[in-house]
Amino acid sequence: MLSAAHWQQLRQHGDRLAATPLSALMAAEPARAGTWALRVGPIHASFARQRIDDAAWGQLQSLATGAGLAKALAALFDGEIVNPTEGRPALHSALRGDVGRGEPARAAAAEARAGRERVDALHAALAQGPVTDIVSVGIGGSDLGPRLAVDALRDFHDGRFRVHFLTNVDGSAARHLLADLDPGRTAGILVSKSFGTQETLLNGGILRDWLGGSERLYAVSANVARAEAFGIAPDRVLPMWDWVGGRYSLWSAVGFALQLAIGHDGFARLLEGAAMMDQHVREAPPARNLAAWHGLFAVWNRNALGAASHAVMPYDQRLALLPGFLQQLVMESLGKSVRLDGSPVPVHTVPVLWGGAGTNAQHSFFQALHQGTDILPADFIGVVRPAHGFDDNHHALLANLLAQSEALANGAPSDDPHKRYPGGRPNTLFLLDELNPYSLGALLAMYEHSVYVQSVLWGINAFDQWGVELGKKIAGELLPAVAGDAEPSDPVTRALIAEIRSRR
Ligand SMILES: O=P(O)(O)OC[C@H]1O[C@](O)(CO)[C@@H](O)[C@@H]1O
Q: How many C-beta neighbours within 10 Å does residue 418 have?
A: 6
pLDDT at 2 over 90: no
pLDDT at 3 over 90: no
Spacing, Cα 322 to ligand 1 middle (Å) = 18
Is residue 193 annotated as part of the catalytic site, yes or no? no
> What single-letter DSSP state applies at residue 88?
B
> Pick the residue with more confidence: 418 or 2?
418
Q: Which of 193, 199, 237, 242 to mutate to test the pocket of ligand 1 (most atoms within 8 A of CB)?
A: 193
Nearest CA-CA partner of 189 in 209, 219, 222: 219
Q: How many C-beta neighbours within 10 Å does residue 129 have?
A: 10
499 Cβ partners below 8 Å, 6+ apart?
A: none
Residues of the chain with CATH 3.40.50.10490: 4-65+286-464, 92-265
Taking CB atoms within 8 Å and a gap of at least 24, the contacts of 465-471 are 465/332, 465/333, 465/335, 466/85, 467/335, 467/336, 468/332
Q: What average pLDDT does the segment 170-191 reach?
A: 98
Nearest CA-CA partner of 210 in 125, 135, 286: 135
Query: Helices 103-128 and 69-78 sit at what angle, rounded to 10 degrees?
Result: 50
HSE of 312 in the Cβ direction (CA atoms, 13 Å)? Answer: 23
The predicted model scores a pTM of 0.98
The answer to whether 61 and 48 are in contact (CB under 8 A) is: no
Is residue 111 annotated as part of the catalytic site, yes or no? no
What is the model's pLDDT at position 155? 98
Residues in a beta bridge with 427? 378
Instruction: Please state which CATH number belongs to domain 469-502.
Output: 1.10.1390
Spacing, Cα 142 to ligand 1 middle (Å) = 7
pLDDT at 1 over 90: no
Q: Is the CB of 247 under 6 A from ligand 1?
A: yes
What is the model's pLDDT at position 481? 96
Residues in the chain: 504
Is residue 176 annotated as part of the catalytic site, yes or no? no
pLDDT at 4 over 90: no
The yes or no reply on domain 92-265 and CATH 3.40.50.10490 is yes
Q: Is the CB of 194 under 6 A from ligand 1?
A: yes
Measured CA to CA, the distance from residue 445 to residue 281 in angstroms comes to 9
Spacing, Cα 224 to ligand 1 middle (Å) = 16
Residues of the chain with CATH 1.10.1390: 469-502
List pLDDT tens digits, range 447-481.
999 999 999 999 999 999 999 999 999 999 999 99
* H-state helical runs in 232-365: 256-283, 290-299, 322-334
| CATH pick for 4-65+286-464 out of 3.20.20.70, 3.40.50.1970, 3.40.50.2300, 3.40.50.10490 | 3.40.50.10490
List pLDDT tens digits, range 244-297.
999 999 999 999 999 999 999 999 999 999 999 999 999 999 889 999 999 999
Buried b (16+ CB within 10 A) or exposed e, 245-264: bbbbbbbbbbbbbbbbbbbe
Residue type, 362: Q
Q: Is the dihedral of CA 93, 96, 99, 101 positive or negative?
A: positive
pLDDT at 213 over 90: yes
What is the model's pLDDT at position 23? 87
